Amino acid sequence: MYKIDIEIDGMMCGMCEAHVADVIRKTVNDARKVAVSHTKGTAVFLTEEKPDEDKIKDAIDATGYTVMSMKCDISMDMCYSQKVIKKPEPLRFGLFSFMIFTRLNEKSESSVS
């Protein structure tokens, strides 16, 4: 799961937001949760595969807006929240497990010295 953050110049109103959102949805077939803000000058969306950044930039520029920057991140938290992959369970140590772990750790440190 990729999170794409785009900084866009030239948006002035809600219709500008709608234009940019439409362009993103048409350019990136699997775009999800597209959020565009003219006040912040940003567009953010999620996608399963890494998109072609040049293609997105060219499509947005063609509508009269200017892409200032674009960042593509992979986020495990988003993968977990979208249930793309299962979040691992935290390790749980009881007192007995902790004592064994501590004892094994002490042995390994004494053998190194």
Query: pLDDT of the chain along its 113 residues, tens only?
Result: 788 999 999 999 999 999 999 999 999 988 989 999 999 999 999 988 888 889 999 999 999 999 999 988 876 665 555 555 555 566 565 666 666 666 666 665 665 55
Domain residues for the domain of 49 are 2-81
What DSSP character marks residue 72? E
How many C-beta atoms surround the C-beta of residue 88 within 10 A? 8
**Which residue in this structure is represented by tokens 């949805």?**
25
* CATH number of the domain residue 7 falls in: 3.30.70.100
What is the predicted pLDDT for the residue at 83? 58
Strands 32-37 and 66-74: unpaired
105 occurs within a structural domain = no
103 occurs within a structural domain = no
What is the predicted pLDDT for the residue at 86? 59
Count how many domains the chain has: 1
CA 59 distance to own-chain centroid: 21
47 occurs within a structural domain = yes
32 occurs within a structural domain = yes
The structure's pTM equals 0.64
* Separation CA 16–CA 11 (nearest Å): 5
What DSSP character marks residue 22? H
